[in-house]
Homo-oligomer: A and B are copies of this chain.
Amino acid sequence: MTASEVVTTPAYEFDLATSVTALDDGRFAGAIADGWDIGGNANGGYLLAIAISALREASGRPDPITVTAHYLAPGRPGPVEVTSETIKTGKRLVTTSGSLWSGDRRTLQVLAAFGTVEHADSYVYADGAPPVMPPIEECVFRSRQQGTVEVAIMDRLDIWLDPSCAGFQTGGPRGVGDPGHRAEMRGYVSFADGRPWDTLSLMLACDCFPPAVFHLDLPPGWVPTVELTVQVRARPAPGPLHCRFTTRYVSGDTFEEDGELWDSTGRLVALSRQFALIARA
C-alpha cells in the first residue's frame, strides 16, 4: 500500500486544509487554511496534521505510529513548506524528521515514525478504560466564544463536554477541590462536516479540547505547548471519539497533559502527552 492510496476523499474540509503537493528534495507545498485557529493562531493539532500529511507521504507508509512535535512559533494562515529527511527505512517503521516553514520562519519541528497500524488482537492488556461520561445528548456543546477569544476551529469540530468538566464555560463549579474531581477534560469530538476519523486526523483530535488546566486557578494567559507526542494504536471506527485529557503535575511553571482517545467501539486509538508552559506575565 502506498500513502497516496489511503488519502481519503478531498471533499472534506480537513483533507483540503491538510493537502500537500510534493516538490523536489523531500519538500512539500501546503497551506495553513483560514478558520482552524483560536484567536488568530492556528490550532497546534491542525499544524501537526499538515506536517504529518507531508511526512507520511515522504515515508511511503499509511499511518503515523509515534509522532513528536516541538512548537516553535504561532501559525498564521498562508502558504507553508514542509521539509523532510528520511532518518531510517526499516521493515516495520520508517523514521522521518521534518520542519514546517512559514516563509523563512520555522513553525514546527517533527520527529515521527510511520508504519501500518496493527489490529492484532492476539494479546491485549488494558489497565484503564474509556472515559465514563453521560451520553452525548446530555453533554455541553463547546461554544465558539471563550471569554473574549474566538475559537474559530469550533466551526470545524463538534465537541460535547462532560457537564462536570464544562464549568469554565457554563460558569458552574470548575471541579478541582470538589471530592473526586481532577484537572480533567472529558468529552466527545466529531468533525462538523461528518468526516470520519483516521490516523492522520488523530493528530488534530489530540489537541482540540480546552486545556485540562482550565480546572485550576492558574494566572490568566496562554499555556503554550512546547512539545506534543502522539502514539497511534488503532484506526478509529466510525463515530465520535471519546476523549479524556488529564494534567497531574504542575511544577516549575510547566505541566503535562495526557490524552486518551477511544473510538465509538471502545477501542483505544491514541495516547498523547503534551509538555506545556505557564506563560509568564
Interface residues of A (CB under 8 A from B): 65-66, 68, 70, 72-73, 87-88, 90, 92-93, 95, 97, 99, 106, 109-111, 113, 117-120, 123-128, 176, 182-183, 216, 218-219, 226-227, 229, 231, 233-234, 246-256, 267-268, 271, 273, 275, 277-278
- In the bound complex, residues from chain B placing their C-beta under 8 Å from that of A87 are 70, 72, 99, 106, 109
Contact status A127-B182, CB under 8 Å:
yes
Identical chains bound together, number: 2
10 tightest A-B contacts by CB?
A: A118-B252, A125-B250, A68-B68, A127-B248, A111-B111, A66-B275, A66-B227, A72-B88, A128-B248, A87-B109
Q: Determine chain A's interface SS by DSSP, over half rule.
A: strand
- In the bound complex, residues from chain B placing their C-beta under 8 Å from that of A73 are 88
Give Cα A271 to B227, complex, Å: 13
Contact of A252 among B88, B119, B250, B273 (CB under 8 A): B119
Which interface residue of A70, A99, A234, A248 has the most chain B CB atoms within 10 A? Answer: A70
